[in-house]
Amino acid sequence: MESAEPTPVTDENDRDVALMKRVGAGDEDAFRQLIERHQNAVIGTVSKMLGNTTDSEDIAQQVFLRIWKSAKRYKPSAKFTTYLYTITRNLVFNETRRRSRKKEVSSEDRAENSHAQIEDTPDRRPDSELLQAELQLAVDEAIASLPENQRMAVILRRYEQLAYEEIADVLDTSVSSVKSLLFRARTTLRESLERYLDQ
Protein backbone atom coordinates (compact mmCIF):
# COMPACT_ATOMS: atom_id res chain seq x y z
CA MET A 1 0.00 0.00 0.00
CA GLU A 2 1.46 3.32 -1.11
CA SER A 3 1.72 6.10 1.44
CA ALA A 4 -0.14 9.28 0.57
CA GLU A 5 2.19 12.11 -0.41
CA PRO A 6 1.77 15.47 1.28
CA THR A 7 0.33 18.26 -0.83
CA PRO A 8 2.86 20.35 -2.79
CA VAL A 9 1.68 23.53 -1.07
CA THR A 10 2.59 22.09 2.34
CA ASP A 11 5.93 20.84 1.00
CA GLU A 12 6.74 24.27 -0.43
CA ASN A 13 5.75 26.07 2.76
CA ASP A 14 7.67 23.59 4.94
CA ARG A 15 10.74 24.23 2.79
CA ASP A 16 10.34 28.01 3.15
CA VAL A 17 9.88 27.73 6.93
CA ALA A 18 12.97 25.50 7.20
CA LEU A 19 14.98 28.02 5.17
CA MET A 20 13.73 30.86 7.40
CA LYS A 21 14.91 29.00 10.51
CA ARG A 22 18.36 28.74 8.94
CA VAL A 23 18.25 32.42 7.92
CA GLY A 24 17.38 33.27 11.53
CA ALA A 25 20.59 31.49 12.56
CA GLY A 26 22.55 33.66 10.11
CA ASP A 27 22.79 31.16 7.23
CA GLU A 28 23.47 33.27 4.12
CA ASP A 29 23.14 30.31 1.75
CA ALA A 30 19.60 29.67 3.03
CA PHE A 31 18.83 33.36 2.50
CA ARG A 32 20.13 33.16 -1.08
CA GLN A 33 17.87 30.12 -1.71
CA LEU A 34 14.86 31.96 -0.28
CA ILE A 35 15.54 34.92 -2.58
CA GLU A 36 15.91 32.65 -5.61
CA ARG A 37 12.62 30.94 -4.80
CA HIS A 38 10.58 34.13 -4.45
CA GLN A 39 12.30 37.14 -6.05
CA ASN A 40 10.52 36.87 -9.42
CA ALA A 41 7.11 36.79 -7.76
CA VAL A 42 7.97 39.76 -5.53
CA ILE A 43 9.42 41.83 -8.40
CA GLY A 44 6.40 40.97 -10.58
CA THR A 45 3.94 41.95 -7.85
CA VAL A 46 5.75 45.22 -7.12
CA SER A 47 5.99 46.21 -10.80
CA LYS A 48 2.29 45.44 -11.39
CA MET A 49 1.33 47.43 -8.30
CA LEU A 50 3.43 50.46 -9.22
CA GLY A 51 2.80 50.32 -12.96
CA ASN A 52 6.48 50.27 -13.91
CA THR A 53 9.61 48.19 -13.39
CA THR A 54 12.08 50.99 -12.65
CA ASP A 55 11.89 50.74 -8.85
CA SER A 56 10.67 47.15 -8.61
CA GLU A 57 14.05 45.54 -7.99
CA ASP A 58 14.96 48.16 -5.37
CA ILE A 59 11.73 47.57 -3.48
CA ALA A 60 12.13 43.79 -3.82
CA GLN A 61 15.60 44.16 -2.27
CA GLN A 62 14.03 46.08 0.61
CA VAL A 63 11.50 43.25 1.06
CA PHE A 64 14.27 40.65 1.38
CA LEU A 65 16.37 42.94 3.56
CA ARG A 66 13.45 43.17 5.98
CA ILE A 67 13.11 39.38 5.91
CA TRP A 68 16.83 39.02 6.73
CA LYS A 69 16.61 41.54 9.59
CA SER A 70 13.47 40.00 11.12
CA ALA A 71 14.36 36.32 10.56
CA LYS A 72 15.31 35.70 14.21
CA ARG A 73 11.86 36.88 15.30
CA TYR A 74 9.96 34.99 12.56
CA LYS A 75 7.19 32.71 13.82
CA PRO A 76 5.49 30.46 11.22
CA SER A 77 1.94 31.27 12.38
CA ALA A 78 0.84 31.60 8.72
CA LYS A 79 2.28 30.49 5.40
CA PHE A 80 5.66 32.02 4.58
CA THR A 81 4.23 33.55 1.40
CA THR A 82 1.62 35.36 3.52
CA TYR A 83 4.47 36.88 5.55
CA LEU A 84 6.40 37.69 2.35
CA TYR A 85 3.46 39.39 0.61
CA THR A 86 2.50 41.30 3.76
CA ILE A 87 5.97 42.89 3.82
CA THR A 88 5.67 43.51 0.06
CA ARG A 89 2.25 45.13 0.54
CA ASN A 90 3.54 47.46 3.26
CA LEU A 91 6.51 48.65 1.19
CA VAL A 92 4.44 49.05 -1.98
CA PHE A 93 1.68 50.98 -0.21
CA ASN A 94 4.33 53.26 1.36
CA GLU A 95 5.84 53.85 -2.09
CA THR A 96 2.40 54.52 -3.60
CA ARG A 97 1.71 57.16 -0.96
CA ARG A 98 5.14 58.72 -1.43
CA ARG A 99 4.53 58.91 -5.18
CA SER A 100 1.06 60.35 -4.84
CA ARG A 101 2.55 63.13 -2.70
CA LYS A 102 5.30 63.79 -5.24
CA LYS A 103 3.22 63.04 -8.36
CA GLU A 104 6.29 61.41 -9.91
CA VAL A 105 4.59 58.93 -12.21
CA SER A 106 1.63 59.57 -14.47
CA SER A 107 -0.30 57.11 -16.63
CA GLU A 108 0.35 59.41 -19.61
CA ASP A 109 4.12 58.85 -19.23
CA ARG A 110 3.62 55.10 -19.11
CA ALA A 111 1.36 55.18 -22.15
CA GLU A 112 3.84 57.26 -24.15
CA ASN A 113 6.71 54.91 -23.27
CA SER A 114 4.70 51.80 -24.18
CA HIS A 115 3.48 53.28 -27.48
CA ALA A 116 7.04 54.22 -28.37
CA GLN A 117 8.09 50.60 -27.88
CA ILE A 118 5.20 49.33 -30.01
CA GLU A 119 5.82 51.78 -32.84
CA ASP A 120 9.53 50.91 -33.02
CA THR A 121 8.71 47.56 -34.67
CA PRO A 122 6.20 48.24 -37.48
CA ASP A 123 7.59 45.45 -39.70
CA ARG A 124 6.78 42.55 -37.34
CA ARG A 125 3.20 41.36 -38.01
CA PRO A 126 1.89 44.80 -37.03
CA ASP A 127 -1.82 43.95 -36.75
CA SER A 128 -1.68 41.08 -34.25
CA GLU A 129 1.36 42.31 -32.30
CA LEU A 130 0.11 45.88 -32.11
CA LEU A 131 -3.32 44.71 -30.95
CA GLN A 132 -1.76 42.38 -28.36
CA ALA A 133 0.56 45.11 -27.08
CA GLU A 134 -2.29 47.63 -27.01
CA LEU A 135 -4.49 45.19 -25.09
CA GLN A 136 -1.69 44.43 -22.59
CA LEU A 137 -1.13 48.15 -22.09
CA ALA A 138 -4.87 48.69 -21.56
CA VAL A 139 -5.00 45.84 -19.01
CA ASP A 140 -1.92 47.18 -17.16
CA GLU A 141 -3.36 50.71 -17.07
CA ALA A 142 -6.78 49.47 -15.95
CA ILE A 143 -5.18 47.50 -13.09
CA ALA A 144 -2.93 50.46 -12.20
CA SER A 145 -5.98 52.73 -11.91
CA LEU A 146 -7.68 50.52 -9.28
CA PRO A 147 -7.58 51.53 -5.60
CA GLU A 148 -4.51 49.92 -3.99
CA ASN A 149 -6.36 47.24 -1.96
CA GLN A 150 -8.34 46.15 -5.04
CA ARG A 151 -5.18 46.19 -7.17
CA MET A 152 -3.24 44.10 -4.65
CA ALA A 153 -6.12 41.61 -4.37
CA VAL A 154 -6.33 41.24 -8.17
CA ILE A 155 -2.55 40.79 -8.56
CA LEU A 156 -2.28 38.24 -5.74
CA ARG A 157 -5.29 36.28 -7.04
CA ARG A 158 -4.70 36.48 -10.80
CA TYR A 159 -0.92 36.46 -11.08
CA GLU A 160 0.23 34.74 -7.88
CA GLN A 161 -2.78 32.37 -7.55
CA LEU A 162 -3.13 32.96 -3.82
CA ALA A 163 -6.19 31.56 -2.04
CA TYR A 164 -8.82 34.00 -0.74
CA GLU A 165 -7.78 33.17 2.83
CA GLU A 166 -4.14 34.05 2.20
CA ILE A 167 -5.07 37.29 0.42
CA ALA A 168 -7.26 38.16 3.42
CA ASP A 169 -4.27 37.62 5.74
CA VAL A 170 -1.98 39.74 3.53
CA LEU A 171 -4.51 42.58 3.38
CA ASP A 172 -5.46 42.15 7.05
CA THR A 173 -9.13 41.75 6.24
CA SER A 174 -11.82 39.05 5.96
CA VAL A 175 -12.37 36.55 3.13
CA SER A 176 -15.75 38.14 2.37
CA SER A 177 -14.05 41.53 2.11
CA VAL A 178 -11.49 40.06 -0.34
CA LYS A 179 -14.31 38.65 -2.47
CA SER A 180 -16.00 42.05 -2.41
CA LEU A 181 -12.74 43.80 -3.39
CA LEU A 182 -12.27 41.38 -6.29
CA PHE A 183 -15.88 41.74 -7.43
CA ARG A 184 -15.61 45.55 -7.50
CA ALA A 185 -12.21 45.37 -9.21
CA ARG A 186 -13.48 42.99 -11.91
CA THR A 187 -16.51 45.20 -12.53
CA THR A 188 -14.26 48.25 -12.95
CA LEU A 189 -11.83 46.33 -15.19
CA ARG A 190 -14.68 45.04 -17.34
CA GLU A 191 -15.94 48.60 -17.84
CA SER A 192 -12.42 49.91 -18.57
CA LEU A 193 -11.75 47.17 -21.12
CA GLU A 194 -15.25 47.10 -22.64
CA ARG A 195 -14.15 48.16 -26.10
CA TYR A 196 -11.62 45.30 -26.25
CA LEU A 197 -14.05 42.72 -24.88
CA ASP A 198 -16.68 43.58 -27.52
CA GLN A 199 -14.33 42.87 -30.45
**134: in domain:** no
**131: in domain:** no
pTM of the model: 0.77
Which CATH number covers residue 24?
A: 1.10.1740.10
Q: What is the sign, positive or negative, of the torsion defined by CA atoms of 96, 45, 139, 118? A: positive
Is pLDDT above 90 for 59?
yes
Task: Work out how many domains the chain is built from and give that number.
Answer: 1
**80: in domain:** yes
Residue 16 lies in domain: 7-105
pLDDT of residue 127: 67
**66: in domain:** yes
With both helix axes pointing from N to C terminus, report the angle between 164-171 and 80-102 in degrees, rounded to the nearest 10.
50
The residue-averaged pLDDT of 191-197 equals 81
Within 8 A by CB and 6+ apart from 174, the residues are 168
